[in-house]
């Protein structure tokens, strides 16, 4: 009598599936939902830490008072600070966007130090939604700072010489350009090792761009080589565009250059920032 040995058939290998977190599997509606949830999370963080809004609330007040009463008399003449405010406020709208954008880079760097970003990268969400949510919240902070700047400008004697639509167009242009700058600082935040290094590098970029521009003074009094730099400075283009939209004058050229800079910066730096966020260890 013989015994037959019965062997079970080998199990089929489990099918390998791609991680759900790959952005190709997430549609537009899912991306928007993730951005909204993450933006709400970032907003609640601000609510839990109101001190994080001090820069937005105090910076416009301090800067406009400082520059108006330090530079106003020298540039517009003693007693003509009101005329200088009309010149200064549109330029400071460009400056606000750059200063607030720096906070995005330091915030991203700090979140990586705390391990928050590692948790996000382990979740089934689009990688870009994490960074876009930060930009959405910072745009909201920028709108608050711009509103305070305009209120202070009106208190100091500023008058809009075009229309409300021109004012809104100037604000919108500043927000668009500021959002593009945030991708640069996000990339810096993902590249530098510490938040202090991000701030140091940001200051090296910000100071020449801000003071080598038409934000605070007309470039006609500058030496020739600095005037050439000012002509190509994107902050000068934004300041001139905002001035034309709010106070009158030619705007088409400056608006076109500002939008061109915003598109170019976003196209070049956004993909690099998203890839760096995906690969950062």
pLDDT tens digits, one per residue of 134-145: 899 999 999 999
Q: Between residues 97 and 15, which one has the greater pLDDT?
A: 97
Q: Is the pLDDT of residue 261 over 70?
A: yes
* pLDDT on residue 237: 93
Q: Which residues contact 46 (CB under 8 A, 6 or more apart)?
A: 52, 53, 137, 141
> Whole-angstrom Cα distance, residue 87 to residue 243?
7
| Angle between the N-to-C axes of helices 127-155 and 81-114, in degrees from 0 to 180, rounded to the nearest 10 | 160
Cα 118–chain centre separation: 23
Q: What is the pLDDT of residues 33-65, one digit of tens each?
A: 888 888 888 888 788 877 878 888 898 999 999
Task: Summarize pLDDT for 159-203 with one digit per residue, the tens.
Answer: 899 899 999 999 999 999 999 999 999 999 888 888 888 888 888
Tell whether the model's pLDDT for residue 10 goes beyond 60.
no
Mean pLDDT, rounded, for 215-234 = 87
Per the CB < 8 A criterion, the answer to whether 215 and 235 are in contact is: yes
Tell me, letter by letter, the H, E, C secondary structure of 193-252: CCHHHHHHHHHHHHHHHHHCCCCCCCHHHCCHHHHHHHHHCHHHHHHHHHHHHHHCCCCH
pLDDT at 17: 39
Residue 14 above 50 pLDDT? no
How many C-beta atoms lie closer than 10 Å to residue 73's C-beta? 14
């Amino acid at each position: 009598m013989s015994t037959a040995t019965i062997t079970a058939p080998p199990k089929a290998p489990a099918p390998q599936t791609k991680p759900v977190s790959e952005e190709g599997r997430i549609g537009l509606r899912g991306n928007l939902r993730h951005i909204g949830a993450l933006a709400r999370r970032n907003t609640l963080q601000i609510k839990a830490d109101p001190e994080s809004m001090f820069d937005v609330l105090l910076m416009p007040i301090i800067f406009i008072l400082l520059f108006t009463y330090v530079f106003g008399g020298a540039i517009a003449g003693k007693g003509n600070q009101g005329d200088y405010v009309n010149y200064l406020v549109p330029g400071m709208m460009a400056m606000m966007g750059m200063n607030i954008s720096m906070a995005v880079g330091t915030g991203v760097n700090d979140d990586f130090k705390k391990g928050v970003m590692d948790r996000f990268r382990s979740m089934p969400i689009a990688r870009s939604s994490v960074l876009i949510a930060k930009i959405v919240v910072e745009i909201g902070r920028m709108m608050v700072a711009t509103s305070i700047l305009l209120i202070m400008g009106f208190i100091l004697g500023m008058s809009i010489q075009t229309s409300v639509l021109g004012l809104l167009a100037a604000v919108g242009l500043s927000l668009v350009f500021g959002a593009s700058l945030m991708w640069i600082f996000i990339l810096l935040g993902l590249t530098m090792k510490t938040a202090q290094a991000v701030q140091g590098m940001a200051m090296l970029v910000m100071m020449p761009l801000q003071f080598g521009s038409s934000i605070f003074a007309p470039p006609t009094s500058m030496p020739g080589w600095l005037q050439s730099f000012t002509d190509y400075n994107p902050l000068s283009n934004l300041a001139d565009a905002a001035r034309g939209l709010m106070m009158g004058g030619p705007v088409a050229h400056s608006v076109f250059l500002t939008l061109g800079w915003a598109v170019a910066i976003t196209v070049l730096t956004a993909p690099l920032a998203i890839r760096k966020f995906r690969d950062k260890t």
